[in-house]
Amino acid sequence: MEIKEVEKDSIAQGLGISKGDRLCSINSHKIRDEIDLMFYENDGNLMIEIEKEMEHEIFSVKKLPEDKLGIRIVPFSFKRCSNSCIFCFYDQMPEGLRESLYEKDDDYRLSFLYGNYITLTNMIDEDYDRIEEQRLSPLYVSVHSTNPDVRARILGKDKNKTDIMKSLERLVDAKVEIHTQVVICPEINDGEELEKTVFELSLFFPNIRSVAIIPVGLTKFRRGLFSLREMKQEECLEVIEHIFSWQEAFRRRFGIGFVYPSDEIFIKAEFAIPMQEFYDGFPQLENGVGNSRIFLDGIENIDTEEIKEIKARIVFITSLLPLPWVNLLRKRLVFETSISCDIIPLENHFFGESVTVSGLLCGEDILKAIETYKKKSDLFIIPQNSLNEDGVFLDNLSLRDLNRLSGEKVIALPLPISSFAETVKREFVT
């Protein structure tokens, strides 16, 4: 594997290992990807094989097991998804977005490293062996249904290749911790099918630690695709009612609730967000389960005394789903400080009005909202999760572009939200 970077003052730099060298093996184990590097560099005595300009060199290293070599290798080529899911978001996107958004992955290594959800439909024996050997846990699995016929219909594959229970058994045998999700497609895997799925997954507790229930997301680009509809308010309420009942049983058996609806289901149902105890440590936070509770608690923890005397006009730009929570933040600032606040609730014109989550807001829509805002503003604040780690929106516009093109000061909402006062002070107190 080609070395992408060597950290300054690291063990690797001290050995003379450089960017562009190739890491061949550690203690005779071939290095296939960064997981192998993470796993094998933990020994105290290492024999490292490096290829430099077509010549192979062996370096001997003695170190503490917790010390890292300071090597970063070029990312591996991941396994592509071979499913044809009826709700696949990749099939609902227009051209011109970030290139990485068109790469459909279904790789257990990305699940382990980054929490990506996988279907297990492309796993081979060697994959399971490696997961067990290197203790690659936790993993995140898209189940959708434990009924082979229903799951095959959802994934667009032969049911002989989609038997999730057998695949989960192999992971359980490997002592892997698993978090699962079910994307609800109305009239396909809801109702009795959903209940069956949840309770069959509970048979694998404690290896399966959680089940997230997510509503299907549909964009305006669903042309020529499987006919699906969104969940209705009454259906969201029904799911919440059932989950509360199921949680009671699971708490008696397991000590945790085990199954959790996404925030989107609560908001669509116009149902109050539960308290922290409901989420048992937030195991599915990255999947949109519990973020609203953390946001609400964070609002309460903002130290408004620090910014009480600041006089400024702030405009929050948000999508429709989290609008009630952003409005609570606005009210607290207006009532307890000298800051004047406004909110622009933004419909998602890019993906379609049915898409209401903030993570799918695009720079183009936000830019138009700023340009059409008529009042004077000192600061525009946008959702943090609409940007990737490089500060780029889905449509390739960056936060820097947004500032330049709008001629306004635009920042991302700080996370955790409890640090909001510190951010405002940095912007307005010299």
Cis peptide before 138 (omega within 30 of 0): yes
Q: For a pLDDT cut of 70, what percent of the chain falls above it?
A: 100
What digits encode the pLDDT tens for the residues 260-287? 999 999 999 999 999 999 999 999 999 9
Q: What is the pLDDT of residue 246?
A: 98
Q: Helix, strand, coil shares of the chain as percentages rounded to 5?
A: 40, 20, 40
Distance between CA atoms of residues 88 and 22, nearest Å: 37
pLDDT of 237 strictly over 90? yes
Q: What is the pLDDT of residue 98?
A: 77
Burial 381-392 (b: 16+ CB within 10 A, else e): bbbebbbeeeeb
pLDDT of 225 strictly over 90? no
Q: CA distances (Å), 226 to each of 155, 239, 351, in order?
A: 12, 23, 18
Q: What is the pLDDT of residue 143?
A: 98
Distance between CA atoms of residues 100 and 259, nearest Å: 31
Q: What is the pLDDT of residue 161?
A: 82
Q: Mean pLDDT over all residues of the chain? A: 94
Return the residue matching tokens 């081979």.
Answer: 124
* Lookup: tokens for 3: 């070395």
Of 237, 410, 413, the closest CA to residue 325 belongs to 413
Tell me how many helices (H) and strands (E) the chain has: 14, 14
Pairing of strands 340-346, 55-62: unpaired
What digits encode the pLDDT tens for the residues 346-368? 999 989 888 999 999 999 999 99
Are 22 and 4 in contact by the 8 Å Cβ rule? The answer is: no
Distance between CA atoms of residues 326 and 356, nearest Å: 14
Q: How large is the greatest C-alpha to C-alpha distance in the chain, in angstroms?
A: 69
Residue 171: pLDDT band with limits 50, 70, 90? very high
Residue 127: pLDDT band with limits 50, 70, 90? very high
Of 329, 327, 346, 342, the closest CA to residue 386 belongs to 346
pLDDT of 19 strictly over 70? yes
Q: What is the pLDDT of residue 430?
A: 66
Question: What mean pLDDT do residues 318-334 have?
Answer: 94
Could you give the domains of the chain?
3-73 (2.30.42.10), 89-288 (3.80.30), 296-428 (3.40.50)
What digits encode the pLDDT tens for the residues 72-87? 999 999 999 999 999 9
Stated pTM of the model: 0.91
Q: CA distances (Å), 241 to each of 260, 322, 426, in order?
A: 11, 22, 44
Distance between CA atoms of residues 188 and 173, nearest Å: 30
Give me the count of residues in the chain.
430
* Lookup: tokens for 358: 């903030």
Are 311 and 298 in contact by the 8 Å Cβ rule? The answer is: no
Distance between CA atoms of residues 394 and 100, nearest Å: 10
Are 175 and 207 in contact by the 8 Å Cβ rule? The answer is: yes
Burial 268-305 (b: 16+ CB within 10 A, else e): bbeeebbeeebbbebbbebbbbbbbbbbbebbeebeee
pLDDT of 101 strictly over 80? no
Q: What is the pLDDT of residue 162?
A: 87
What digits encode the pLDDT tens for the residues 384-400? 999 998 999 999 999 99
Backbone angles phi, psi at 259, to 5 degrees: -120, 135
The gap between the terminal CA atoms of the chain, to the nearest Å, is: 48
Sheet holding 55-62, edge to edge: 29-30, 22-26, 45-52, 55-62
Residue 89: pLDDT band with limits 50, 70, 90? confident
